[in-house]
Amino acid sequence: MWICRALLLAAACWMGMSSFAQAQTASMPEADEASAILACFHAGQTAIGDLHACARAWVTPKALLLCALQNTAAGQADHIACPFISDNAEGQAVFDVLLVQQHLTRASNLSLDASNLPNLPDASAIEACNTTSATRQDFMACTQNAMSGRQIESLLSCIRNSRSDDARTLCLAESAPAEAGLAAAVKCLNGQSTTPAEFLACVAPDRKTTVEKVMGCAAQAGASAAALADCLMPGTSVAEKTLAACLSQSQNDGRNVVDCFGHFWSPFGRADQAAACLSDPRNGWETCAQELIGVTGVSEALETCAGVRRKGLVACLFDKMPDLHPTAAAYRCLIYGGEGRSLVSDCTGDLIKDDKIRQTLACVTGANNNRTALAICAAGSVLPSKEAHKVNCAATTQGAPVAFALCAAAPATNEDWRISAACALTSGGDAKVYARCMAAPFALAELGKCFRGHFGSDCFGSANSITELLGDAK
């Protein structure tokens, strides 16, 4: 069964609330995971990738703040969410979507910022509440409504009145933005579609002939990587097809993906040679730098990177050299490492400008030569972006219902919706439990300072009650 209970289970996977603990896939209870995450963070593992390597969980800026509040306020504010994402293939698929939405990479640094509370009103909403509110009580009612509003009230009511998992799943699907198409997917699949063909027929019935043609082509390609690339990317350059063939044989290994891009993108290939040269302390800096930028201008380039440690020289040259700088972010992201599909999806926007081509390349990388997954990649290569996104989510998760639901909801839904949906489910529709799950009491306490004040200075500034609480608890 692919989707019937997907969103319900997704909430349990998203965070290990007690009523859904049987579906939590993390390696330890949520409270222990929160402690581990905070211990790693305070030990200096502040980059997203470094924190993951330490705590074995994926954490966004919002998740870090909520986990910190849960860890700090244990006993005085039960049920606060710690929405870490489990360290498995399904969690990876979900996290990839969040990174793209929030313009983050694994090299991005995390911080404990009170403005990362979920569903927090923005500065314009707070200003509007100040304009229309005569009293503090009116102001607090206005800001609280901005945080939740009728949509949340309707969702909680729907969950309270539902008598089955399927009904609660539909509650969540209908609370998502219409453009997400989740309600239609849940109603359409309803636990009945168990094969890729049935899934594709459901999400794109009017594209059946086109999809069947490209899937047939991919099947006939067999073990030929070049033939597969011709099927999936018929209108692209020879270089892009060669890259696709290489990535399809990469075994979804980040190191192999980097090698593929080294052949596709000559500066990166040269950078790899320069880094290898620098790894041997017997080699001079100038000799190694020439591997990347050639003989001309080496002295001037090294002067601009004076003081940089040996292993950081290549990254510095990418930042400082005008012809390399436009792709410096891609270089840093790729060398940071990780799962192959994620590197293609998250790091290569400056190298592969076409979103459809990049999506297809990421899909064949993650398929890891699995025939079924490659067939779904083929279908995604000819579908409109909305349907292709769902198909690529299916390929990423290989049909895992929890990860597929969370992946397919994006980009029409954001992290606030995901956390809110999970809290709504785990609350059973109880508004007070839901508010505690979302850390709303902490948010409202700080929002009170915004009355007749300004967001970012009078409230949620550098000194605020939330960061002070977390600082005192270190």
Within this chain, do residues 163 and 242 fall inside the same structural domain, yes or no? no
Could you tell me the pLDDT band of residue 49, with boundaries at 50, 70 and 90?
confident
464 in helix, strand or coil?
coil
Token output for 474: 């270190």
Given 378, 399, 420, which residue is the final one in a domain?
399
Quickly list H helices, 190-327: 196-203, 208-221, 225-232, 238-248, 254-264, 266-278, 285-293, 298-304, 313-320
Question: CB under 8 Å to 458, separation ≥6 — which residues?
Answer: 449, 450
pLDDT for position 207? 87
Within this chain, do residues 227 and 277 fall inside the same structural domain, yes or no? yes
Other beta carbons less than 10 A from residue 239's beta carbon: 11
**CA–CA separation, 18 and 16 (whole Å):** 6
CA angle 302, 305, 308 (to 5 degrees): 120
Within this chain, do residues 65 and 197 fall inside the same structural domain, yes or no? yes
Within this chain, do residues 9 and 69 fall inside the same structural domain, yes or no? yes
Within this chain, do residues 55 and 177 fall inside the same structural domain, yes or no? yes
Which segment, 26-30, 164-168, 305-309, 325-329, is predicted with the most confidence on average?
A: 305-309
Within this chain, do residues 313 and 356 fall inside the same structural domain, yes or no? yes
User: Which amino acid is residue 324, in one-letter code?
Assistant: L
**CA–CA separation, 200 and 408 (whole Å):** 14
Question: CB under 8 Å to 150, separation ≥6 — which residues?
Answer: none
Least confidently predicted of 33-42, 53-62, 456-465:
456-465
Query: Tokens 């206005």 — which residue?
Result: 142
Within this chain, do residues 166 and 184 fall inside the same structural domain, yes or no? yes
Within this chain, do residues 167 and 273 fall inside the same structural domain, yes or no? no
| Burial zone of 66 (CB within 10 Å; 0-12 exposed, 13-18 middle, 19+ buried) | buried
Which residue(s) pair with 109 in the sheet?
A: 47
Q: Does the pLDDT of residue 354 top 60, yes or no?
A: yes
Given 339, 366, 399, which residue is the final one in a domain?
399
Given 365, 399, 433, which residue is the final one in a domain?
399
Within this chain, do residues 344 and 326 fall inside the same structural domain, yes or no? yes
pLDDT for position 256? 94
Mean pLDDT of 309-330: 88
Within this chain, do residues 259 and 359 fall inside the same structural domain, yes or no? yes
Q: At what angle do helices 196-203 and 385-397 cross, to 10 degrees?
A: 160
**CA–CA separation, 329 and 337 (whole Å):** 13
Token output for 60: 């966004």
Question: CB under 8 Å to 29, separation ≥6 — which residues?
Answer: 16, 21
Mean pLDDT of 1-18: 38
**CA–CA separation, 463 and 474 (whole Å):** 16
pLDDT for position 194? 53
pLDDT for position 392? 65
Pairing of the two strands 57-58 and 85-86: antiparallel
Please count the CA atoms within 13 angstroms of the CA of 387 that sit on its side-chain side: 19
Within this chain, do residues 140 and 238 fall inside the same structural domain, yes or no? no
pLDDT for position 53? 82
**CA–CA separation, 393 and 66 (whole Å):** 27
Q: Choose between 319 and 472: higher pLDDT.
A: 319
pLDDT for position 369? 87
Question: CB under 8 Å to 96, separation ≥6 — which residues?
Answer: 341, 342, 345, 346, 396, 407
Could you tell me the pLDDT band of residue 252, with boundaries at 50, 70 and 90?
very high
Tell me how many domains the chain contains.
Answer: 2
Which residue(s) pair with 455 in the sheet?
A: 459
For residue range 367-388, list pLDDT tens digits in order.
Answer: 888 888 888 888 888 888 778 7
User: Which amino acid is residue 287, in one-letter code?
Assistant: T
Could you tell me the pLDDT band of residue 196, with boundaries at 50, 70 and 90?
low
Q: Does the pLDDT of residue 4 top 50, yes or no?
A: no
Within this chain, do residues 371 and 437 fall inside the same structural domain, yes or no? no
Which residue(s) pair with 86 in the sheet?
A: 57
**CA–CA separation, 144 and 127 (whole Å):** 14
Q: Choose between 304 and 10: higher pLDDT.
A: 304
User: Which amino acid is residue 448, in one-letter code?
Assistant: G
pTM above 0.75, yes or no: no
Could you tell me the pLDDT band of residue 22, with boundaries at 50, 70 and 90?
very low
Q: Does the pLDDT of residue 234 top 70, yes or no?
A: yes
For residue range 87-128, list pLDDT tens digits in order.
Answer: 766 677 678 778 888 999 888 999 999 989 999 888 899 999
One DSSP character per residue, 360-424 reads HHHHHHHHTT-HHHHHHHHHHTTS-HHHHHHHHHHHHHTT-HHHHHHHHHTTTS-HHHHHHHHHH
Instruction: Give the structural domain span for 334.
Output: 208-399
